[in-house]
Amino acid sequence: MAKPLPRRQWAAVGELVARSNQRHGVAAIDQGLDWGAGWRTPDRVAVAEQSLDYCWRFFMGQTELQRCIEKLVGILEAEGLPYAIIGALALNEYGHRRVTVDVDLVMREADLQTFKQRHLGRGYAERVPGTGKLLDTENNVHVDVLSTGRFPGDDKPKPIAFPDPALTAIRGKPFAMLPLTQWLELKLASGMVAAHRGKDLVDVQELIASAKLPRDTAEQLHPWVREKFLALWELAQVEGVF
């Protein structure tokens, strides 16, 4: 049987727990608590409630994001500006459910400039002047437009580039999208070269599992990303213990 810690060491443990609680927004230990290390502080409870509320509204189609995408798609379709949604909104349509808070799409640079000339100051603003980083000011949602011909991840030249949606987009409700294989190539290329885009690789792995993508999907991908897809496909086949 292990020997009990000396009183001095217990005091040190208590101090470490108190510091951890403070870092993680946990209220001071209540001596009357029958279990647990303490209660979350009111501000942390409020953050959790807001996050859960957003997740619920997202899957009910009732968030500011859904209002933003409906408005944006309505404008682009009405004005004949080709586009394709390429972010997590597209991921949900391909078969993996994940919450997101912003809109990512690809457009031709000339069409992006046309959109900005018509709509900046009329429901949209630039978050970064001269770029495709926009803000839907009515819904307070970030809209990131990636231009045809630029490169995913680090924007350095590579065999995979953002395509021309006028030639590649698949039209239909709720919005235009890229063929699945092109979306996979963009996600894989981004995650392979940009350390801050590891989530792109996770999205691919999760989609492989959720949509049960076959292994031979790799044959339809550019050789530059094929090996990474196969590695993620193998990981997606592993069943966890928990």
Per residue in 14-32, pLDDT (tens digit) is: 565 566 666 666 655 555 6
pTM comes to: 0.84
Predicted pLDDT at 59: 94
Percent above pLDDT 70 for the chain: 87
Nearest to 37 by CA among 50, 55, 23: 23
d(CA 226, CA 54): 36
Span 110-169, pLDDT tens digits: 999 999 999 999 999 999 999 999 999 999 999 999 999 999 999 999 999 999 999 999
Give residue 21's identity as a one-letter amino acid code. Answer: N
Report the CATH number of the 63-236 domain. Answer: 3.30.460.40
Q: Is the pLDDT of residue 109 over 70?
A: yes
d(CA 162, CA 5): 61
E strand segments, the chain: 84-85, 103-107, 124-126, 133-136, 141-147
Span 210-242, pLDDT tens digits: 999 999 999 999 999 999 999 999 999 999 888
Residues whose CB falls within 8 Å of the CB of residue 68, separated by 6 or more in sequence, listed in order:
103, 136, 138, 139, 141, 143
Measured N-to-C along each axis, helices 223-236 and 180-193 cross at an angle, to the nearest 10 degrees, of 90
